Structure 1
Amino acid sequence: MTSPEENIRTDELILATSAKKLAKRRGCLKCISSLLLPLALGVFTIVITFQQQSAAQRQRIEDRDAADLQRAEDRNASRLQREQDKQEAELLRKQEKDLDKQRYENGRFDAYIQQMGKLLKESNGSIMSSQVTATLARVETLNIFRQLDPQRNVQIIRFLYEAKQLTDTPENPSLDLSTAKLLNIDFRDAAVNEKQLYQLSFRGIFLLNATFIGIEMSNINFSRTKFDTTSFSLAEIHDADFSFAEFYYTSFTSTSFASTIFAEATFENYPRQCQFFILCAL
C-alpha cells in the first residue's frame, strides 16, 4: 500500500508531465499559427495573381477581338467606299459617254438636215430630178440611218415625208431607200396628227419592231419590204401594195383592208387562219 507522500509525488509527476505536453502543444500551435498566416497570404497572393493574369488575358483577347473587328469594319467600309467611288465613276463615264453620243447624234442630225435642205433648194424641191443628187441623198440617208437612234431616225423619215421625198408619183418619184434597216420605228411619230400616212413609199426596206397601230394609210407602197415583229393592229389600210413582202411575227389584229395587194407575199410564224382572213379581206 503506497504512502500519501508517494501519491503526492506521483500526482506532481503527472501534473509536470501534462504541463510539459501542454506547453509543447502550445508551442506547436504557435509555430503552426505563425506558419499559417504567411501561407494564407501566399495562397491569397497566388490566387489574386492568377485572377489578375486571367483578367489581363481576357482583356487582351477582348482588345484583340475589338481591334480585329474594327479592322474588319474599316476594311469593309473602305471596300464599300471603293465600290461606291467606282460606281459613281462608271456612272459619270456613262453619263459623259451618253452626252457625247447625244452631242454627236445631234450634230449628225443637224448636218444631215442642212445638207438635205441644200439639195432640196438646189433641185427645186425634187431630189430625184438629178441622178447625182438622188444618189448622194440615198447614200447620205442610208448612212445616217445606221448612225442615229430610232427617235432621230423617225424625225428624218418625217422630214423626208413632209418634204414630199417619200411620195411616189409620176411627177415626183420617191427617194430610193431600199436595203435600209430601220429598228424600233413608231410610224405614229411620222404620221400626220399621229393618225394618217398618205402616199408613202418604203419599197424594199427592212423593218424590225415597227409600229403602225391605229394609223389610217392609203396609197402606201411596201412592196418587197421585210417586216419582223411589226404591228398593224387597228390600222385602216387602203390602196396599199404589199406584193412580195415578207412578214415575220406581224400582227394585223382588227386591221381593215381595201384595195390592198398581197401578191406573192409570204407569212412566217403567223397563224394560218390569219393569213386566210387577210386574203379574204382584200
Structure 2
Amino acid sequence: MTDRPLNRHHWLYRGLTLKDILTFVLSLLLPLMLGIFTIVISFHEQNVVTQQRIEDRQLAREQHKQDLNISRQHCGQDWNTSFEQHAQYKEIARLQRLQDELKHELDLNISRVQRELDKEIAALKRAQDNDFAEKRQNLSFSQSQHELDVALNRYRDILLVSYVKMIGKFLQDSKGNLSVDSLIHNLIRAKTLIVIRQLDPVRKRHLNLFLYEVGILTYGQSPIVLSSADLNDIDWMGSNLSYISLVDVTMRNNSFFYCFLIGVDFHGQQTDLSDSNFYKGNLQHALFHHTRLHRTNFTSANLTTADLTRSILEAKAIIECSYFNNASISKEMFDHSRISHVSFYRTAAIYSTFRKC
C-alpha cells in the first residue's frame, strides 16, 4: 500500500515526475499570470489613458468653448468698452472744444472789457486832468478875481474918500451954500453921477447918506438932481431919510425896512421903485406921483397924506395893514395888487382902479 501512493506521486512522464510538471506549470503560471495581469493592466491603463484623453479632449473642447464664450464676451465687452470709450472720447473732445470756445470767447470778452476799461480809465484820467486844470485855472482865476476885487474895492474906497473930500472943499469954499454958484452946482452933479456909476450898492448908500447929511439932497434946499442915477439894490434899513429928494432916480429892489421917509420926494416919470420894500416905513407926506411901483411892498407902512397921483402901482403890489389916510391916489391903478387891512380914510381915489385885487 505504501508503494501505490508512492508510485502515484512519482510516476514519470517522459522522465518527468508530476512534481516536476507541477513545478514547471507553476513556474510558468506565475509569469503567465503576471503577463496577463500586465496585459490587463496595460489594457486598463490604455483604456484609462484613452478615457483620460477623451475626457481631456472633452475638457479641452469645453474649455475651448468656454474660452470662445469668454473671448466673445470679452470681445463684446471690449467692443462695448471701445464704443463707450469712443463715445467718451467724443464727449471729451466735444467738451474740450466747447471749453476752448468758451475760453476763446472769454479771452475776447476779457480783451474787450479790458479795452473798455482802459478807455474809461483814460477818459477818467483826462477828466481828472481837465478837472485839475480847471480847478487850478479857477483857483488862479479866483485868486486873480480876489486880487481884482481887492484892488477894485481899494479903488472905490479911494474914489469915495476923494469925492467926500472934494464935496467938503466945495462946501467950505461956498460956506455951505452950493446953490449960489450954478457952475459948482452942475459940476457937483456931474461928478456925483460919474462916481455913483463906479460904486457898489454899499458905497452908494454911504455917498447918498453923506450928501443927505450935508444938505445936498434935502428937499426944499435946492438939492442936486440925480436923474438917471443907478441906485438899485441898496439896503437903507433903519435910516432916517426924511425930506430926501431923489427925483427921476432908478431905485429898484431897495430895502426901506423901518425907515423914516417923512416928506421924501420920489416923484418923477423916470423914478422906478419896483420890487422895493417899505415894510413898516413912515412915508407920511411922501411924494410918489408918476412913480413906477411894480411889485412894491407897503406892508404896515404909513402913507398918511402921501401923494401917489398917477403913480403906476399895478402888477402885484403888496399893500397890507397900511394907512393911506388923507392921501392922494387920484388916477391910481391898484390892478392885480394884494390889498388887505388898508385904511383909506379921507383919501381921494378919483379915477383909481382896483381890478382883481
The 1-side partners of 2:112 and 2:102 are apart by: 15
The corresponding residue for 2:159 is 111
**Alpha-carbon contact 2:159-2:195 (below 8 Å) kept:** no
Alignment of 1:76-225 (within 5 A): 77-82=124-129, 84-85=131-132, 88-89=135-136, 91-92=138-139, 93-94=141-142, 96-124=144-172, 125-170=176-221, 173-188=222-237, 194-224=238-268, 225=271
Deviations 1:52-71 (A, max 9, x none): 85796587468547735753
Deviations 1:105-156 (A, max 9, x none): 4413422430442243044255544333333332333233333332232222
**Residue 227 (structure 1) aligned with residue 276 (structure 2):** no
- Kindly tell me: are residues 234 and 205 of structure 1, through their superposed partners in 2, closer, same or farther at Cα, counting changes over 3 Å? same
SS in 2 for 1:238: coil
- Kindly tell me: are residues 243 and 60 of structure 1, through their superposed partners in 2, closer, same or farther at Cα, counting changes over 3 Å? closer
TM-score, normalised by the number of residues in structure 1: 0.70
The 1-side partners of 2:281 and 2:347 are apart by: 14
Higher relative contact order (CA 8 A, sep 6+): 1
**Alpha-carbon contact 1:221-1:240 (below 8 Å) kept:** yes
**Alpha-carbon contact 1:219-1:238 (below 8 Å) kept:** yes
The 1-side partners of 2:303 and 2:133 are apart by: 56
The 2-side partners of 1:195 and 1:78 are apart by: 56
The 2-side partners of 1:226 and 1:262 are apart by: 13
Q: Unaligned 5+ residue runs, structure 2? A: 1-46, 318-333, 349-357
The corresponding residue for 2:282 is 236
- Kindly tell me: are residues 51 and 25 of structure 1, through their superposed partners in 2, closer, same or farther at Cα, counting changes over 3 Å? farther
Deviation (angstroms), 1:99 = 4.1
- Kindly tell me: are residues 51 and 129 of structure 1, through their superposed partners in 2, closer, same or farther at Cα, counting changes over 3 Å? same
The 1-side partners of 2:109 and 2:157 are apart by: 68
Give the letter for the 1:159 counterpart.
F
User: Bigger shift: 231-240 or 205-214?
Assistant: 231-240
TM-score, normalised by the number of residues in structure 2: 0.58
SS in 1 for 2:241: strand
**Residue 247 (structure 1) aligned with residue 293 (structure 2):** yes
The 2-side partners of 1:199 and 1:59 are apart by: 88
**Alpha-carbon contact 1:127-1:175 (below 8 Å) kept:** no
Quote the RMSD (CA, aligned, Å).
Answer: 4.5
Deviation (angstroms), 1:201 = 1.0
The 2-side partners of 1:53 and 1:242 are apart by: 92
Deviations 1:89-110 (A, max 9, x none): 4642245335414522441342
Deviation (angstroms), 1:19 = 4.5
**Alpha-carbon contact 1:214-1:233 (below 8 Å) kept:** yes
Alignment of 1:250-261 (within 5 A): 250-261=296-307
The 2-side partners of 1:279 and 1:242 are apart by: 19
Deviations 1:157-203 (A, max 9, x none): 22322333212344xx2122012132112222xxxxx2422331101
In proportion to residue count, which structure has more helix?
Answer: 1
User: Percent identity of the aligned residues?
Assistant: 18
Deviation (angstroms), 1:79 = 4.9
In proportion to residue count, which structure has more strand?
Answer: 1
- Kindly tell me: are residues 119 and 217 of structure 1, through their superposed partners in 2, closer, same or farther at Cα, counting changes over 3 Å? closer
**Alpha-carbon contact 2:160-2:203 (below 8 Å) kept:** no
Give the letter for the 2:185 counterpart.
A
Deviation (angstroms), 1:83 = 5.4
Deviation (angstroms), 1:259 = 4.3
Question: What stretches of structure 1 move > 6 A for 4+ residues in a row?
Answer: 24-28, 44-52
**Alpha-carbon contact 1:244-1:265 (below 8 Å) kept:** yes
Deviations 1:1-36 (A, max 9, x none): xxx89x957655444444455666778859x98xx8
The 2-side partners of 1:140 and 1:211 are apart by: 26
**Alpha-carbon contact 2:253-2:275 (below 8 Å) kept:** yes
**Alpha-carbon contact 1:234-1:254 (below 8 Å) kept:** yes
User: Bigger shift: 263-272 or 224-233?
Assistant: 263-272
The 2-side partners of 1:14 and 1:250 are apart by: 135
Give the letter for the 1:176 counterpart.
V
